[in-house]
Amino acid sequence: MDSELILKGVSFRYDSQWCLEGIDLELKEGEIVGMIGPNGSGKSTLLKIMDGLLKIQKGEILLLNRPLSDYTRGDIARRIAMVPQESNFRFPFSAFEVVLMGRFPHLGPFPFEGKEDQEIAQHSMELTGTLDLAPRSIHELSGGEKQRVLIARALTQKAQIILLDEPTSFLDIRHKVEIFELISTLSRTQGLSVVTVSHDISLAAQYCQRMLLLNKGSIYKVGEPAEVITADTISAVYQCPVFVDENPISKTPRVTVVSKRKEGKEQRL
């Protein structure tokens, strides 16, 4: 399997303080990597760095074996797509128009999409099960529908790598599972490489081949979910007592927060 994106000793700072230090990561074709870590550990920053939106001060990033800094913005946008945590279209764009915007990096100076662009957009909507939503206005859609439309837009970009910044944080469990199922199907059938930030550790563990646990700007542990997600690592990094066992159905690690009120309750009983 080829490596799509390689990070070697990447460090980044906004000002004098390093936000990220010595990050090494290889993203392989068709792989889903889940990025976890407490708030402020640098997850979103790392995602932006992978997308070339932030310039790193140390280390190097290779996209398809070429330094990321050699690519133009348009070149990157044709290879890497980002799905934001939440997007606010306040104007009545139809879902189809939003998906079609994914063709932006592919269009030449002529500012209109052609027949082929339209077909690509339609196909992406088929793959994400959003074709029925095409004529609907984007701000009439529910959170889950909107996320699926944005994933369709990322597919329309024809990117091989999709970065998702907490795509499920505003969704209920059914829609959370739907999004993860969709990502997982796409990576299997389309060979997409995916990096997704998630706060739902147990759920991410069911779908990701590898997990990356960030702590204060550096990698605490990276590897298969069962290696990364243990009571020790999660408790240490999140500074919150947890209990980890095996999900009886998926056989992946399952995190349970140990409530401090438990003892009190028992006493009252």
For the bound state, the minimum distance from the C-beta of residue 216 to another protein, rounded and expressed in Å, comes to 24
Q: Is 145 in the site for another protein (CB under 8 A)?
A: no
Instruction: Judge contact between 243 and 254, C-beta under 8 A.
Output: no
Nearer to another protein, 95 or 183 (CB): 95
For 165, the enclosing helix (H) or strand (E) is: none
Strand partners, 162: 81, 194
Give the integer Cα–Cα distance in Å for 67 and 91: 38
Q: Rounded to a whole number, what is the largest CA-CA distance in the chain?
A: 73
Q: Which of 19, 61, 68, 98 binds another protein (CB under 8 A)?
A: 98
Each residue 184-223 as x (binds another protein by CB under 8 A) or -, in order, gives ----------------------------------------
Question: If we measure between CA atoms, which residue out of 59, 9, 16, 23 comes closest to residue 216?
Answer: 23
Q: Which amino acid is at 222?
A: V
Number of H helices, E strands in the chain: 10, 12
Strand partners, 257: 242
Binding residues for another protein restricted to 230-269, rule: CB under 8 A: none
Q: Is 155 in the site for another protein (CB under 8 A)?
A: no
For the bound state, the minimum distance from the C-beta of residue 154 to another protein, rounded and expressed in Å, comes to 10
For the bound state, the minimum distance from the C-beta of residue 81 to another protein, rounded and expressed in Å, comes to 8
Give the integer Cα–Cα distance in Å for 22 and 9: 4
Nearer to another protein, 89 or 220 (CB): 89
Locate tokens 């990321």: which residue?
68
Q: Is 92 in the site for another protein (CB under 8 A)?
A: yes
Measured CA angle at 205 (ends 203, 206), to 5 deg: 70
Q: Which of 84, 170, 199, 231 binds another protein (CB under 8 A)?
A: 84
> Two tokens at 199?
């706060």
Nearer to another protein, 136 or 216 (CB): 136
Which region among 12-20, 110-118, 171-179, 257-265 touches another protein (by CB under 8 A)? 110-118
Binding residues for another protein restricted to 42-81, rule: CB under 8 A: 51, 53, 72-74, 76-77, 81
Count of beta carbons in the 10 Å neighbourhood of residue 250: 14
CA end-to-end span of the chain: 57
Q: Which of 101, 177, 226, 231 binds another protein (CB under 8 A)?
A: 101
Q: Is 143 in the site for another protein (CB under 8 A)?
A: no
The residues of the shown chain that bind another protein, judged by CB under 8 A, are 51, 53, 72-74, 76-77, 81-82, 84, 87-94, 96-98, 100-102, 104-105, 107, 111-113, 118, 122, 131, 134-135, 139, 157
